[in-house]
Amino acid sequence: MSSTDTLTVAVVGAHLSGMPLNPQLTERNATLLEETTTAPAYRLYALPDTTPPKPGLRRMAGGEGEAIIVEVWQIPASAFGSFVDLIPAPLGMGNVELADGRWVNGFICEGYALEQARDVTEFGGWRAYIKALTAEGEC
């Protein structure tokens, strides 16, 4: 496929490899390109009352963020709309800056949802947070 036939998408939570919503990508013939991090400008939040558990990614101003682990996937452009249609509010697609300066499509979260969410940035990524919850018996 040429680059015009595909889109690049950064996923940060339940769509990561091995996570509950990853089939939404693989069923659309998306392929994993790499694991990397965002630019050090984001915070990660555990959204309350989501099934399966989902994070919200928020870009911060003035050096208040950190690098968060993401996976970068390539999805056929023809399948992108049906993928985005599955994303529930307060999540959505926006632009996410990666550590190397590239901007790609990626999951972002509306600000209102973060008011009651737990900041889990210290874990560096969603997988580490879920692992910690499992170890504590909370998940």
DSSP one-letter string for the chain: --GGGEEEEEE-STTSTTSTTTHHHHTTT-EEEEEEEB-S-EEEEE-TT-SS--EEEEE-STT--B--EEEEEEEEHHHHHHHHTTPPTTEEEEEEEBTTS-EEEEEEE-GGGGTTSEE-GGGSSHHHHHHHHHHHT--
Instruction: Please report, for the chain, the start and end positions of each structural domain, with discontinuous segments joined by +.
Output: 3-136
Mean pLDDT over 40-47 rounds to 98
Does residue 63 carry a pLDDT above 90? no
Given a cut of 60, whether residue 49 has pLDDT beyond it is yes
The stretch 10-37 carries a mean pLDDT of 98
Which whole number is the average pLDDT over 43-70? 96
Residue 2 has pLDDT above 60, yes or no: no
Q: What fold does the segment set 3-136 form as a domain?
A: Hypothetical upf0131 protein ytfp (3.10.490)
